[in-house]
């Protein structure tokens, strides 16, 4: 009870409100020299993953547009060229290719058949996901 009371008092002093205390600590850490170095390294790593992703799609799915991220670690893929409606597309991605990504439509009108993908992931996992996508697409005759 004493520890809980101490925590609640500090939470109120720091105006945590609805944010998780761990997020608050992470945000404070981000504004240190070490935090700046970490985010710079992450963006460089994600940038290299983005280059590999664009090369992969150019080679195997040249009609897919990879929308360059302007900041952060996300990339948008325009998968209209797969010739499926959004439900069929995401059933294929998740069910057959085991390729987890966000539906573009959840971000607003015009997002159908777009998907949002995270590039700030270990390169081996990215390449494994792309390989699963390629194998599933080849089985359907969608890839070179």
Q: What is the pLDDT of residues 89-118, one digit of tens each?
A: 999 999 999 988 889 898 888 889 999 999
Q: Which residues contact 119 (CB under 8 A, 6 or more apart)?
A: 46, 47, 49, 50, 53, 69, 73, 74, 75, 126
What does the alpha-carbon distance between residue 70 and residue 57 come to, in Å, rounded to a whole number?
19
Residue 13 confidence (pLDDT) above 90: no
Q: What is the pLDDT of residues 42-87, one digit of tens each?
A: 999 999 999 999 999 999 999 999 997 777 899 999 999 999 999 9
Residue for token digits 């607003």?
Answer: 108
H or E stretch covering 45: helix 33-60
What does the alpha-carbon distance between residue 45 and residue 48 come to, in Å, rounded to a whole number?
5
What is the per-residue pLDDT for 108? Answer: 84
State the DSSP code for 93: I
On the 0-12 / 13-18 / 19+ scale of CB atoms within 10 A, 35 is: middle
Cβ proximity of 113 and 89 under 8 Å: yes
Quote the pTM value: 0.77
């Amino acid at each position: 009870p004493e520890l809980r009371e101490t925590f609640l008092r500090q939470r109120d002093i720091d105006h945590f409100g609805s944010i998780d205390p761990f997020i608050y600590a992470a945000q404070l850490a981000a504004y240190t020299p070490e935090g700046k170095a970490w985010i710079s390294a992450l963006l460089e790593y994600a940038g290299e993953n983005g280059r590999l992703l664009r090369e992969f799609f150019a080679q195997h799915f040249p009609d897919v547009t990879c929308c360059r991220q302007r900041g952060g670690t996300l990339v948008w893929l325009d998968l209209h060229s797969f010739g499926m409606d959004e439900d069929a597309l995401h059933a294929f991605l998740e069910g057959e290719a085991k390729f987890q990504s966000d539906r573009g439509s959840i971000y607003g009108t015009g997002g159908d058949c777009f998907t949002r993908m995270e590039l700030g992931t270990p390169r081996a996992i990215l390449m494994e996901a792309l390989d699963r996508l390629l194998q599933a697409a080849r089985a359907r005759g969608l890839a070179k």
